[in-house]
Structure 1
Amino acid sequence: MSETGIIIGEDGRSRCHWHANLPDYLKYHDEEWGRPVTNDIRLFEKICLEGFQSGLSWLTILRKRENFRAAFAGFDFDKVAHFGEADVDRCLADAGIIRHRGKIVSTINNARRAIALRDEFGSLAHYFWGYEPGHNERPTVVDRDHILANPTTPTSVVISKDLKKRGWTFVGPTTVYAFMQAMGLVNDHLEGCFCRPEVEAMRAVLVRP
């Protein structure tokens, strides 16, 4: 790995170092991470899974994602909002997910908060994309040192505070920034990663909600 955080894969392509050449992580890096998301259910899924990831590795969550989807009705927040104590117990008994009561209860709570957010803004996508940082708020070079030095940003702090004010939980500024990176609100593929220009091209033609 170079000082910039770029590694060369077996296919000769330059990538961000964090996928560690693990096949499932590699696929996530190449095909999903950082690519703009405007679908409300997928946005809800991503912010919930980032909450579950708190204190754990993302790879652990990624490998359990299909189990999470099965446990939480595909992250359809209209359905999750109606979960009750029996559903909490069911999830706590599910060895395929992270059996953390607080995070399970948080997902149900956040589903209810997501409905309120949609009612106010028309969609979750409209709310989150409304916080897209301007060019003057982004670094001129996105390299490993920048990422390591900035686990949060002013924008993630603002979103976190607003979500908490609205009753969301497990949405601290570090979690929110990881969500912003994952759903493409920012392009944090490193300079030199083959995905970076692909994501920039997608962002250039994206119709913001």
Structure 2
Amino acid sequence: MTIEKFASIYQRAAERKGGEDQLENLLKIPLSKAELATVPEDRWLSAFSMKVFQSGISWDVVRKKWPNFEELFFNFKVEPLLMLSDEMWEEKAQDPRIIRHLAKVMSIPRNARMIYETRAEHGSFSQMVAQWPLENITGLWEYMKKHGDRLGGNTGPYTLRQMGADTFIFSTDVEAYLRNTGVIDSAKTTKRAMTSANQAFSQWQQESNRTMSEISQIIAFSTGENRI
């Protein structure tokens, strides 16, 4: 398999977006490792929880109700949430101020536990994410899927991107590009596909000295129906 040179991908994206300046203005830059390491853990739990609830539900509906979630769940502070009994969680899941979905509500204490348990080895969840090697960023996806709840598929990676972590994501356009160019040839959730994609992104990063997040966005802009 021959991986397309990043310079070619970049030029195609620039042409589709009206030039290099316009393309650069569209790119969202991730946080630095130092900035990422200081993100409060409650913001991670809130973001994970929001993404879980947005799965299969209107994103706008979830956003409008989110202040109620913050109030009901102690602003997603990890320690107070871990002290609640199962009966208390079931009661909260029936609160009419939020979206009443017991399975999704129960992802909150499970993901709080995942965040809490990273402290012993890494100091905090944020420090673990900041220190994770980019050449194995899909390993972080797998960690969240294994140790968290309902964070598989694109939920975990999209949350990482939203929170400012440097990661590529399997958006529709990125997945289509990787599949059409032979970088991946199996389901995106397989170890084989994630390893192949991670290797390709690492190569493009070495060629371009850009973040994986930028590369992912540029690939998306280079294909699909998003022309200017």
TM-score (norm 1): 0.58
Query: 1:52 maps to which residue?
Result: 53
Q: Percent of aligned positions with the same letter in both sequences?
A: 22
- Residues in 2 aligned to 1:132 and 1:60: alpha-carbon distance in whole angstroms: 35
Q: Alpha carbon RMSD of aligned pairs, Å?
A: 3.1
Instruction: From the CA coordinates, give the structure whose radius of gyration is larger.
Output: 2
Name whichever structure is richer in helix by fraction.
2
Distance 1:174 1:81, change over 3 A: same
Distance 1:56 1:173, change over 3 A: same
- Residues in 1 aligned to 2:111 and 2:74: alpha-carbon distance in whole angstroms: 14
Q: What runs of 5+ residues in structure 2 fail to find an aligned partner?
A: 1-15, 18-24, 167-212, 219-228
Query: 1:195 maps to which residue?
Result: none
How many residues get paired?
146
Distance 1:130 1:173, change over 3 A: farther
Query: 2:101 maps to which residue?
Result: 100
Deviations 1:63-95 (A, max 9, x none): 111111112111001111112123222222222
TM-score (norm 2): 0.54
Deviation (angstroms), 1:181: 1.6
Deviations 1:97-150 (A, max 9, x none): 22111111111122122211122210111111223747xxxxxxxxxxxxxxxx
Query: 2:155 maps to which residue?
Result: 175
* Contact 2:45 2:108 (8 Å CA) reproduced: no
Deviation (angstroms), 1:182: 0.9
- Residues in 2 aligned to 1:169 and 1:185: alpha-carbon distance in whole angstroms: 19
- Residues in 1 aligned to 2:140 and 2:122: alpha-carbon distance in whole angstroms: 14
Deviations 1:160-187 (A, max 9, x none): 3112333x11111300121122101135
- Residues in 1 aligned to 2:88 and 2:133: alpha-carbon distance in whole angstroms: 35
Q: What runs of 5+ residues in structure 1 fail to find an aligned partner?
A: 5-13, 17-28, 135-153, 192-209
Distance 1:60 1:162, change over 3 A: same
Query: 2:199 maps to which residue?
Result: none
- Residues in 1 aligned to 2:26 and 2:72: alpha-carbon distance in whole angstroms: 33
Query: 1:185 maps to which residue?
Result: 165
1:165 aligns with 2:146: yes
**1:27-42 paired onto structure 2 within 5 Å:** 38-42=39-43
1:71 aligns with 2:40: no
1:114 aligns with 2:95: no
- Residues in 2 aligned to 1:55 and 1:78: alpha-carbon distance in whole angstroms: 29
